[in-house]
Structure 1
Amino acid sequence: MSKLESYSMEQLKERLSLITRSIPKGSEIIYIDYPVHSNGGDLLIMKGTEAFFKAYGIRVRARYSVLDFPDGLKVPPSCILVLHGGGNFGDLYTKHQLLREKIVEQYPGHRIVMLPQTIFYKSELNIGRTAAVFNRHRDLHLYVRDTLSYEMARKKFKNIKVFMSPDMAHQLYPIASASPPSGETLFFLRNDIEKTPQQELLERSGGASSATKDWTSLYTAAERKALVVMMKLYRLPGARGPLQRIWYRYSQFLVNKAIREFGAYGSIVTSRLHGHILACLMDKPSVLLDNSYGKNTSYYNAWTNRVPGAELSAETLAN
């Protein structure tokens, strides 16, 4: 995938249709590892994924998160197991990776499709363990979001089908802003294990204004408490059905809150990949800083480098 290739937001949304090579229109599926947490990027991916299923007539038989996937689940032979995309493939977020590998091991006779992911491992030993599990499966399809992930997957995973694809959140394009923006810039900066020295320097130098936020700071204390309560309740037997309906409505409320926040600003500076993608979905100018392992730059180079108004930080380009 060359950086010289040029995509509009409409074309990035259209490219998602290629996933129907693995999940044909009208398929019956089980959707696994959808997010039940505060990361708005994952929530945008989930909403885009559900919009994709609807657009292509894909029937969702059941949905499970990492909190409530049951042992010994009976899956009809014709049903495709579809795993949520994002950036948790590897050894940084182990509970999601362990669920992924468990499903591949336990369902050797089913087609399994992993929606667009970024792959990152700190340990060669860990990726070797994943490869040993994956390479035993006969019908495993992996979609990745950048060339580094694609090259790693093709090298390590010998017996599975690997494809390049933009992030599932692109299915949401376009997202309209509810109110006219101000001329101010929102600094939407991550505050977790993927934070970089470049971002810390920006913050220390005063380059980030008082309008600096992250996903969780968009929510009130009561909204964050409600999230914690729901995550605890998800683990209770029998709670999944009713709670899932409540969570889907509540997660849409959280996504709408992020959209309103972004809509209030004229431009976005962000180290969150989905801060960048949300800005693109809203046709809003953005400057993207990298994360700790190059995910943001790799994604920008693969897909959004020619989207009008989307820029990569000059400091990131220099590194």
Structure 2
Amino acid sequence: MTEALRRTILATLADAAAAGPYALIDYPNYLNPGDAAIWLGARRALEAINGRPPAYAATLRGFSPARCRAAIGGGTVYFLGGGNFGDLYPRHQRLRLDVLRALPGNPVVHLPMSCAFAPAPDEALLAETRALYRDRPSTRLFARDRRARSELQERLGLDAVTCPDLCHLLSLAAPPPCRDLVRLMRRDPEAAGPSTGPARDWRDMPGQRLANRLGKLLLAAAPARLALTAQDGVATRKVNHAVAALARGRAVETDRLHAALLAAAIGREVLLHDNATGKVLAYRETWAALLPDLFRPQ
């Protein structure tokens, strides 16, 4: 099944290949190993379809229009995928809008993502998103699931193509389990409700917190010529810590999409709950034929 997912990803993204130097925007310089897994998958996908690494990469706060233009000229800008397209995480959305305004002539590709809309909509931000994206005929969007594709069309008037999450391109290894169950449940704006019973979230793991702190220091000190290597290294460390934590259980119960996908990739039984935005079950339902081991507890 993993190989089928990989073939599907690369075949779907092939039409979005860049003709020359390209940029990859929104490196996850924060504590979320799921987004780190997306970054590493994006790096593999883009090198596979483009034959080269990005000429420019930027974090949420580190985007420089001048440096980006100097590196890629009129080349393609890829936005990292994930679950933060919309107004629930406005800093990420405003970064995208800033890039669109700063590089009006560059082709733009949004890698596979889900939508995250706030309970009280930020109508101004959504209207700005609608206007800027619809005015860019050279923009292509990929949705991780059918629900996200529908939301993009219905709420923003944007067309998207479905494509699996890029974390499926990772090759993972894990030690044997040492307990029956690991429970990892959200405690953030995407939590569907309070967890019943003991559970941890990513931030409760000392190794994950340490990897995040040391990673920020490393990236701040890395010279420009080594920045991409440093970003990949930090992301790899975060993913490895996450996999080691999930691998402890013979089964993993979670409402985090990437905890579920990473656990399934290392052969763990997965007990799946939805999150507040509905992206977890939407993903499972879209790709059920290729993810038979993901199911929801009754």
Shorter-chain TM range is: 0.7 to 0.9
Distance 2:6 2:117 in 1: 28
Q: Where does residue 263 of structure 2 map in the other structure?
A: 279
Distance 1:117 1:222 in 2: 27
> Matches of residues 51-130 of structure 1 in structure 2 within 5 Å?
51-59=44-52, 60-72=54-66, 73-74=68-69, 76-122=72-118, 123=121, 125=123, 126-130=125-129
Helix, strand or coil for the counterpart of 1:101?
A: helix
| Structure 2 residue 269 is the aligned partner of structure 1 residue 289 | no
Helix, strand or coil for the counterpart of 1:149?
A: helix
| Structure 2 residue 141 is the aligned partner of structure 1 residue 153 | no
Helix, strand or coil for the counterpart of 1:110?
A: coil
- Number of residue equivalences: 290
Give CA-to-partner distance per residue, 1:104-160, whole Å, 9 cap, x none.
Answer: 2222221100001111223161322210111111200011112222112223554x6
| Structure 2 residue 34 is the aligned partner of structure 1 residue 35 | no
Report the CA distance shift for 1:267/1:301 in structure 2 as closer, same or farther (over 3 A): same
My pick for the range that moved more, 298-307 or 264-273, is 298-307
Distance 1:191 1:230 in 2: 28
Helix, strand or coil for the counterpart of 2:252?
A: strand
Q: Is the 8 A contact 1:285 1:308 kept in 2?
A: no
| Structure 2 residue 199 is the aligned partner of structure 1 residue 217 | no
Report the CA distance shift for 1:84/1:293 in structure 2 as closer, same or farther (over 3 A): same
Which letter maps to 1:146? Answer: D
Distance 2:113 2:126 in 1: 15
Q: Is the 8 A contact 1:287 1:312 kept in 2?
A: yes
Q: Where does residue 177 of structure 2 map in the other structure?
A: 181
- State the TM-score, normalized to the length of structure 2: 0.87
Q: Is the 8 A contact 1:305 1:311 kept in 2?
A: no
Deviation of residue 41 (structure 1)? 0.4
Q: Where does residue 131 of structure 2 map in the other structure?
A: 132
My pick for the range that moved more, 42-51 or 241-250, is 241-250
Deviation of residue 77 (structure 1)? 4.6
Distance 1:143 1:192 in 2: 25
Q: Which runs of 5+ in 1 are unaligned?
A: 1-7, 315-319
The counterpart of 2:214, out of the listed 198, 216, 226, is 226
Q: Where does residue 171 of structure 1 map in the other structure?
A: 169
Report the CA distance shift for 1:84/1:306 in structure 2 as closer, same or farther (over 3 A): closer
Report the CA distance shift for 1:186/1:280 in structure 2 as closer, same or farther (over 3 A): same
Which letter maps to 2:206? Answer: Y
Aligned-residue Cα RMSD (Å) equals 2.4
Distance 2:259 2:73 in 1: 39
Helix, strand or coil for the counterpart of 1:137?
A: coil
My pick for the range that moved more, 283-292 or 146-155, is 146-155
My pick for the range that moved more, 54-63 or 218-227, is 218-227
- State the TM-score, normalized to the length of structure 1: 0.82
Which letter maps to 2:204? Answer: S
Q: Is the 8 A contact 1:116 1:166 kept in 2?
A: yes
| Structure 2 residue 3 is the aligned partner of structure 1 residue 10 | yes
Which letter maps to 2:23? Answer: I
Distance 2:224 2:275 in 1: 34
Q: Is the 8 A contact 2:25 2:80 kept in 1?
A: yes
Report the CA distance shift for 1:11/1:46 in structure 2 as closer, same or farther (over 3 A): same
Deviation of residue 216 (structure 1)? 2.4
My pick for the range that moved more, 39-48 or 97-106, is 97-106
Report the CA distance shift for 1:278/1:27 in structure 2 as closer, same or farther (over 3 A): farther
Deviation of residue 280 (structure 1)? 2.0
